[in-house]
A and B are shown apart, each in its own frame.
Chain A
C-alpha cells in the first residue's frame, strides 16, 4: 500500500529499555521527520532527515537516536526509555517542492512505565 506507515501502533515498555519505532514511506520523499506530541500539546520535532545518511536535530533530540540508511525508512530509537518519553510519536515525509505539505503516519502511542 502506498503511503507512510508506522510500527508498532502501540507500545508499552519499562524504564531503561531500548525501544525502536519504525517508519516507512513508499513515495521516495527526500525528507522524513519524527515528532512527539504530548497530551494536549502541539507537535515537537525530534529529528529530521533530508536524505539517506543525512540527519539533523530538531527541538527535542535528547534521548533519541535516528538513522536513515535507506530513503524509505527512518527508525527512531530510544536508547534508554524514561517516563518523560511517554508520548505519541508521529513520523512524516515531505517531497520538498512547491508546497509545505508533509504527510503524516498514523502515530505510535508509547507508554514508558
Chain B
C-alpha cells in the first residue's frame, strides 16, 4: 500500500482558501487518491476522489500533478464548520485503504 505524508495540523482564518498537500511517492498505476473528512465525535466521511488532473465537487477540489506523487485538497472560503481532520488515502480498491493520522485543520474566526 502506498504510504502518504501530510501535515499534522494547519490553521486558517474564516473566508480563506485552504490547501492541504499530501505526498504519495510510491503511488501505483492503479491507485486512486481519496480524501476523507472527520468531525469530532463522528466517523470519517468521503469528500473527493481523483486519479489525475483536477476533480471538483460541491465540497472541495482535488489537484493532482502529472507525476501523481502528490495531491492537494483545496477548500474554498473555509468557515468554522470546516474545522476537522482531513485524511489523504491512496489505493486501487483491491485492498482496504489505510488511514494515517490526517491533518487537523483549525479554522479561526
Q: A101: which of B41, B46, B99 is its contact (CB, 8 Å)?
A: B46
B108 within 8 A of A: no
Against A, the Cβ 8 Å flags (1 = close, 0 = not) of B16-48 are 000000000000000010100000011111100
Cβ–Cβ < 8 Å partners of B89 in chain A: 100
Minimum CB distance partner of B43 in chain A? A104
Q: A100: which of B43, B49, B85, B100 is its contact (CB, 8 Å)?
A: B49
Roughly how many angstroms separate A48 CA and B98 CA in the complex, as a whole number? 12
Number of interface residues of B (CB under 8 A): 21
On whether the beta carbons of A102 and B97 are closer than 8 Å, the reply is yes
Interface size class of A (residues with CB under 8 A): 20 to 34
Q: How far is the CB of B106 from chain A (nearest CB, A)?
A: 14
Cβ–Cβ < 8 Å partners of B46 in chain A: 99-103
Cβ–Cβ < 8 Å partners of B41 in chain A: 107
On whether the beta carbons of A104 and B96 are closer than 8 Å, the reply is no
Cβ–Cβ < 8 Å partners of B32 in chain A: 99-100
Roughly how many angstroms separate A100 CA and B34 CA in the complex, as a whole number? 7
Residue of A33, A42, A90, A92 ringed by the most chain B CB atoms within 10 A: A42
**Interface members, chain A 17-69 (any B CB < 8 Å):** 31, 33, 35, 41-45, 48, 58-59
Taking Cβ atoms with an 8 Å cutoff, the residues of B that contact A are 32, 34, 41-46, 49, 85, 87, 89, 91, 93, 96-102
21 contacts between A and B (CB under 8 A): A31-B96, A35-B99, A41-B101, A42-B100, A42-B102, A43-B44, A44-B99, A45-B98, A45-B99, A58-B96, A90-B44, A99-B93, A100-B89, A100-B93, A102-B97, A103-B46, A104-B42, A104-B45, A105-B43, A106-B42, A107-B41
Taking Cβ atoms with an 8 Å cutoff, the residues of A that contact B are 31, 33, 35, 41-45, 48, 58-59, 90, 92, 96-97, 99-107
